[in-house]
Amino acid sequence: MSTLLRDERLRRELSASDVALRLSVHPASVLRWERRERLPGPVHLTGLARTLALDTQVVAGFFDEVRPAPGGPGQGARGQGLRALRRTADVSVRTIARRLGVLPATVYNWEAGRARVPQSQLGPLAGVLGLEERRLVALLDLAPAAPRRQPASALRRLRRRTGLTQDQVARRIGTTRRRLGTWERGMRPPLWAVRRLAHTYGVPVATVAREAGVHAPPLLDARRWQAGDLPDVLRTLRQWSGLTQGDLAERCGCHTSTVRGWESGRTLPSRRSRERLEQVHGLRRGALLAAWPTVRPERPSTPGPSAPGR
């Protein structure tokens, strides 16, 4: 039964990536589950059973074979502090598992607090970490309990509803998986990312903005534009579109310094440039005139030739 999941996956001609896509996890997680190096949670366990068309109890039994039996009070020691001690000693989980004759999944269970470290393993574990057994137990008792895993964020739930992985979404919106991960963990995404995420997930922009805690700038609403708002409007529209000043300059057929001048208020776009800006940002023709300044900005004066010296 040790290769049950892998055998069923191959029999159904599924790759680890295929299974990972259906469960919204990384393919490496699927391979670790198949080797029983990690134990899935209830949701993923049920998903595995459904994906492989197996009975849930069969899949649960596959993992129960290596799941340590929880000890009662006084039996062994809690292991939530093991990870910090292991990293301090620069010892890997595989090294501990090999030296103690257990599976890596067992060590991970100790660290996660799902099972206590058996009394019989405390001495060998202390030896691997270079500690006395009494010292090890004291450090494990003093170590803080591992924090509970936070529930999936709203952005992560939106992504999982589409069945897309972080890699797939990152490629579609033009960012990295690492940056997408920070947004799903609570960091606010930029305006351009909110717009592209909404398009990728097939939901209104307002939905992604609300779930991400992002408040759209008022100047995105053309009804709020007033005379003189043009520099701020152009800057806001460009950022919302995810364009750099160089990108916008290329689309408008001008130099980057020209775009910089528009956004700083030093110069105004020509009629042709204004129409191109409206086209790039999906505005109706003449919409930007509502933000046009009433007074044309003064061009910097060019100093004339200096008077000849006397």
Closest CA to 240 of 204, 182, 193, 290: 193
217-272: pLDDT as tens digits: 788 778 889 999 999 999 988 888 778 899 899 999 999 999 999 999 999 999 99
**pLDDT tens-place string over residues 148-173:** 444 457 888 889 888 889 999 999 98
Which CATH entry fits the domain spanning 154-216: 3.90.1150.10, 3.40.50.1100, 1.10.3720.10, 1.10.260.40? 1.10.260.40
pTM score, two decimals?
Answer: 0.42
CATH code for residues 82-142: 1.10.260.40
* Topology agreement, domain 4-64 and domain 220-291: yes
Secondary structure element (H or E) that encloses residue 43, with its range: helix 42-51
The CATH number of 4-64 is: 1.10.260.40
* CA atoms of 295 and 132, how far apart (whole Å): 80
Q: What is the pLDDT of residues 111-146, one digit of tens each?
A: 877 778 888 888 899 888 888 888 888 777 655 544
Residue with tokens 């750099």: 244
**In a 3-state reduction of DSSP, which class is residue 77?**
strand
Q: Is the pLDDT of residue 147 over 60?
A: no
Query: In the prediction, which pLDDT does 248 show?
Result: 92
Domain boundaries, the chain: 4-64, 82-142, 154-216, 220-291
Higher pLDDT residue, 41 or 296? 41
Average pLDDT, the chain: 81
Q: What is the C-alpha separation between 220 and 216, in angstroms, rounded?
A: 7
Give percent above pLDDT 90 in the chain: 19
Q: What is the distance between the alpha carbons of residues 23 and 292, in angstroms, rounded to a whole number?
A: 51
Can you name the CATH fold of 220-291?
434 Repressor (Amino-terminal Domain) (1.10.260)
Q: Are 276 and 287 in contact (CB under 8 A)?
A: no
Phi, psi of 77 (to 5 degrees): -135, 150
* Confidence band, pLDDT 50/70/90 cuts, at residue 297: low
Q: Given CA atoms 288, 294, 300, 302 in this order, what sign does their dihedral have?
A: positive
Q: Does position 298 have pLDDT exceeding 80, yes or no?
A: no
Per-residue pLDDT for 67 more than 70?
no
Tokens encoding 307: 């008077």
Closest CA to 36 of 67, 81, 9: 67
